[in-house]
Homo-oligomer: A and B are copies of this chain.
Amino acid sequence: MVTDGGRTTAPPELLYLLHGDPSELAEALAGMRAADVADALRDLGPDAGAKVMAALPFDLAVQVFDEPELDRFRADIIHRMAPESAAALAEAMSADQRADLVRELQESDRVKLLKLLDAPTRRSLEMLLDYPPESAGGIMTTEFVSIPETWRVEQALRYIGEVGRAKETVYAVYVLDGEQRLAHVVSLRELMVAERGAVVTDVGDQRRPLTVRPLTDREEVARMISKYNLLAVPVVDEGGHVLGIVTVDDVIDAIVREQTEDVQKFGGMEALDAPYMEISLVRMIKKRAGWLCALFLSEMLTATAMQHFEGEIARAVVLSMFIPLVMSSGGNSGSQATSLIIRALALHEIRLGDWWRIAMRELPTGLVLGTILGVIGIIRIEAWQHFHLFDYGQHYHLVALTVGGALVGIVCFGSFAGSMLPFLLKRIGFDPASASAPFVATLVDVTGLVIYFSVALLVLRGTLL
């Protein structure tokens, strides 16, 4: 009875069936869940995928096409289907997934498909396509249950039984006033436990319903659904008319996508718009080269800084040996601070105005962490000298002191700069998640060099320098 959440039929078997008896293939598929068929289709590729789609019973084919995981793959399959079959499929799909599909179609396929759709479907589609895909309007569906405010519970339950099959969810019921504006939201659970003769507006929470606007960011919608444990949230226009609803499963998909983008940005690149294995090498290189070049150009400042200290390096080559160690410690502490702040900002644990309180936490944290590393650094140099593993010259005490002192300053600065960068980016209108680990490291590297050589000048003047 236990499944591992994986496939019920492995793709190789499907592939085998594909070249065998079509009735066997159809039988194998009919026993699978839509999400598993979608998985199998992705592995099979678009040509075989189109054949499988043709072999599927219509209802299952619709469910498979409603799987957001199919992604741009759907467009490839539609491209290979007869336009009439494609239109029948599109009309039966849920409104939000249909809009996603049409967004991904090639121009010529889109024109063909739109012509074949019936008028109401086309209108609903055009409305959804007007909204950006990352907004509430872009992920909402128009198939929700709405009832007039004069109805009683009995009537509402009977109505849900009649229309329930065709709606995205029946668990939230939207009660409209005489002007078709949202007056109340009641859950099916509340209706089920209510007295059958009660008026629907008297059932359930009497507060003004939670709503979002069509242009609300999907992350904000996700936060609201998750915070208030909703199964769906209505999207209303300025006049209070319900345009559609966003359901909890759309939101999970949105959360997962946003997270992927954030991780990739934090890794120091543009977010990919397709799974790793499906994106072409050329596109991937483009997504990575931009940030990599920008970071490289900024990092060139380290060369400029090093040129500035050329004299010091030539006089005390021993100093250059600790440059990578000292610099990387600044980058590492900065990366820690940045990841903490990005996440706390994303979860709304902290706000823009909190930057000062954060700075007051990060500076002492950096001081302690820097002191720990500084002490380890000093011990390392003294030990190597003591056990004759390397000779740092007669002034090795001072060299150790330089490294230790620089580490305190650099780790302190790294923690501070790493925690402030996300605030700064947010303040000037960028995504704080763009404060990637490499970005912070680059920022800290240049300053780190300056701190290191300044400490060296202070400690070693008159001896090595």
Contacts and interface: CB of A to CB of B under 8 A. Distances in A.
26 contacts: A3-B210, A231-B248, A248-B248, A248-B249, A252-B252, A255-B255, A263-B266, A264-B343, A266-B437, A268-B336, A268-B339, A269-B340, A275-B349, A277-B349, A277-B354, A284-B361, A292-B372, A293-B372, A293-B376, A295-B329, A299-B329, A303-B324, A306-B320, A320-B323, A331-B331, A437-B441
Interface string A178-216: 000010000011001100000000000001111111000
A192 B170 contact: yes
A285 B365 contact: yes
Contact of A438 (B276, B323, B331): B331
B182 A164 contact: no
Contacts of A264: 339-340, 343
A369 interface: yes
A281 B213 contact: no
Given A33-B228, A295-B332, A296-B376, A341 B276 contact: yes
4 closest Cβ contacts across the A-B interface?
A267-B339, A437-B437, A302-B324, A306-B321
A350 B42 CA distance: 12
Nearest to A183: B1
A289 to B, nearest CB: 6
A2 interface: yes
Residue from A165, A192, A220 with most neighbouring chain B CB atoms (10 Å)? A192
Interface in A323-379: 323-325, 327-329, 331-333, 335-344, 347, 349-350, 354, 357-358, 361, 364-365, 368-369, 372-373, 376-377
Interface in A274-331: 275-277, 281, 284-285, 288-289, 291-293, 295-297, 299-300, 302-303, 306-307, 310, 313-314, 317, 320-325, 327-329, 331
A224 interface: yes
A153 to B, nearest CB: 10
A260 interface: yes
A412 interface: no
A310 B390 CA distance: 11
A342 B211 CA distance: 35
Interface in A445-462: 445, 449
Nearest to A224: B5
B33 A365 contact: no
Contacts of A317: 310, 313-314, 317
A339 B288 contact: no
Given A193-B161, A281-B365, A335 B437 contact: yes
B335 A268 contact: yes
A380 B300 contact: yes
B350 A1 contact: no
A131 interface: no
A465 interface: no
A428 interface: no
Residue from A322, A324, A372 with most neighbouring chain B CB atoms (10 Å)? A324
A264 B92 CA distance: 43
A20 interface: no
A160 interface: yes
Contacts of A69: 227
Interface string A375-405: 0110010000000001000000000000000
